[in-house]
Amino acid sequence: MNTSFASGIKLIGSSMVFGAVAVGLMMSAGTLGAATIKGSKHDLGSGGTSQYSSAGAPTPSTTEVCVFCHTPHGANTAATAPLWNKSLPAAGSYTRYSTLNSTTIDGTNVAVGSVSLACLSCHDGSQAMDVMINKPGSGGYNASGASLGSTSAGAAMTGTPIPKLGTDISNDHPISIQYGGGGWNSSNTSDGAVAITNLRDGSFNAGYRATINSTPVWWIDTSGGTAGARDKTDIILYTRDAASGAAGVYEPFVECASCHDPHNADATTTNVSFMRISNTGSAVCLACHNK
Ligand code: HEC
Ligand code: HEC
Ligand code: HEC
Ligand code: HEC
């Protein structure tokens, strides 16, 4: 656990509360192995529990789970999400949080992208959820994507403002936004714990940096997983081109999957809504915001 995260937690209240939060985090980390996407709301196959599986038209003709998002071959390389099996929406089609001109916002937006665009390929409701590039079985490849059903297209997501966020995401937590209140010190190239002085705004926690395949990655360490290592129970920041400055200079950004792990459907604990960690005591929020 990094120290700034610990101090963020302590601010919630008494040591009693701190103890309860710590136990909650440990429990969710301990039970994560049991969490599975199978049968969850992200299981769009016939065994799933999402609006698509239960009310989709036509009824899903596959028991496969992963295929709605991933394919082992012929994936969409325009997507940052791994081995992505769907076409992406246009990055420019969204109304952003920044259009509200919050009096306190500091960070700069870049185009809606990275893993967020992959989430929005279902959650903006603009394309049928069963449109995929490589359908199950032999000969299912179609570069521009095709519906699972052979005769009719499946359903697009419904339910505004959630779970269908739509293309107006100004009422959602900002995404594709610089971490740290803007002005991340991109000349800081040391791996390990990042000094808070490398963030423009000290009301954020500083987190960690590592280099993987010559590319910098950043995350906020939580009590789950191994201390100082990037785990899926950490709050993941996504590497993107800096909002200002030379192209190819990378900075950490907040995206949908900073807070969410799309596979983590542990409905038996407080870790609901595919969160990376339980939000007990607002632990998700306090991992980043030093409040
Ligand atoms: C609803 C969409 C969706 C479904 C269904 C899905 N995934 Fe993913 N998966 C994603 C996204 C988005 C990412 C990128 C997440 C990130 O940035 O951490 C990802 C990342 C991954 C990764 C790499 C990161 C990690 O968490 O290990 C693996 C491996 C993976 N998925 C495997 C699977 C398998 C196996 C299945 C089926 C059992 C599956 N996924 C089903 C959306 C999905
Ligand atoms: C991954 C890190 C991260 C997490 C987790 C996170 N935030 Fe944020 N949040 C940010 C960043 C970065 C901004 C943009 C701030 C800026 O640039 O001034 C932001 C912006 C905001 C704003 C708008 C601030 C403004 O000045 O208009 C609010 C309110 C907010 N977050 C609340 C929350 C709440 C509530 C949670 C928990 C549900 C949360 N955040 C979780 C990183 C995070
Ligand atoms: C293949 C389509 C698809 C993709 C891609 C997808 N989702 Fe979903 N998501 C769904 C469906 C379907 C539901 C269930 C909606 C319902 O039943 O009302 C859902 C529900 C959710 C929920 C609510 C779960 C609950 O318990 O209510 C969250 C959170 C979520 N998705 C986040 C994400 C994030 C974050 C990403 C990207 C990392 C993502 N989704 C990508 C289809 C998708
Ligand atoms: C800063 C953290 C953060 C980011 C970024 C974020 N979410 Fe969430 N999201 C949450 C939290 C926390 C909840 C649980 C809220 C609750 O319990 O009502 C949630 C809930 C949801 C839900 C379920 C809402 C419900 O009550 O049924 C969906 C769907 C969802 N998120 C999708 C997304 C998508 C898609 C993105 C990116 C466009 C995204 N989220 C980005 C923190 C975040």
Residue 218 is predicted with a pLDDT of 95
- Give the span between the Cα atoms of 286 and 279, in whole angstroms: 9
Q: Which atom of ligand 2 is nearest to the CA of 259?
A: 5
**Residue 81 pLDDT exceeds 60:** yes
* Cα angle 246-249-199, degrees, rounded to a multiple of 5: 110
Cα atoms found within 13 Å of the Cα of residue 80, Cβ hemisphere only = 17
Q: Which atom of ligand 3 is nearest to the CA of 52?
A: 12
Q: Who contacts 246 (Cβ-Cβ below 8 Å, separation ≥6)?
A: none
Q: Which residues lie with the beta carbon below 6 Å from any ligand 1 atom?
A: 37, 42, 65-66, 68-70, 81-82, 115, 118, 232, 236, 257, 262-263
Q: What is the pLDDT of residues 95-134, one digit of tens each?
A: 999 999 998 898 888 999 999 999 999 999 999 999 999 9
Q: Which atom of ligand 2 is nearest to the CA of 182?
A: 17
**Residue 30 pLDDT exceeds 50:** no
| Any atom of ligand 4 within 6 Å of the Cβ of 183 | no
Q: 4-13, 138-147, 260-269: which range is least confident on average?
A: 4-13
Cα atoms found within 13 Å of the Cα of residue 100, Cβ hemisphere only = 14
| Any atom of ligand 4 within 6 Å of the Cβ of 206 | no
From the CA of 204, how far away is ligand 2's center (Å)?
9
**Residue 58 pLDDT exceeds 60:** no
From the CA of 219, how far away is ligand 2's center (Å)?
15
| Any atom of ligand 3 within 6 Å of the Cβ of 230 | no
**Residue 259 pLDDT exceeds 70:** yes
**Residue 55 pLDDT exceeds 70:** no
Q: Are 159 and 50 in contact (CB under 8 A)?
A: no
Average pLDDT for 240-255: 83
**Residue 15 pLDDT exceeds 50:** no
Residue 36 is predicted with a pLDDT of 85
Q: 33-42, 135-144, 158-167, 259-268: which range is least confident on average?
A: 33-42
Cα atoms found within 13 Å of the Cα of residue 128, Cβ hemisphere only = 18
| Any atom of ligand 3 within 6 Å of the Cβ of 286 | no
What is the overall mean pLDDT for the chain? 84
Residue closest to 287 by CA, chosen among 226, 205, 224, 227: 205
From the CA of 264, how far away is ligand 1's center (Å)?
10
pLDDT band at 282 (very low <50, low <70, confident <90, very high): very high
Residue 17 is predicted with a pLDDT of 39
**Residue 185 pLDDT exceeds 90:** no
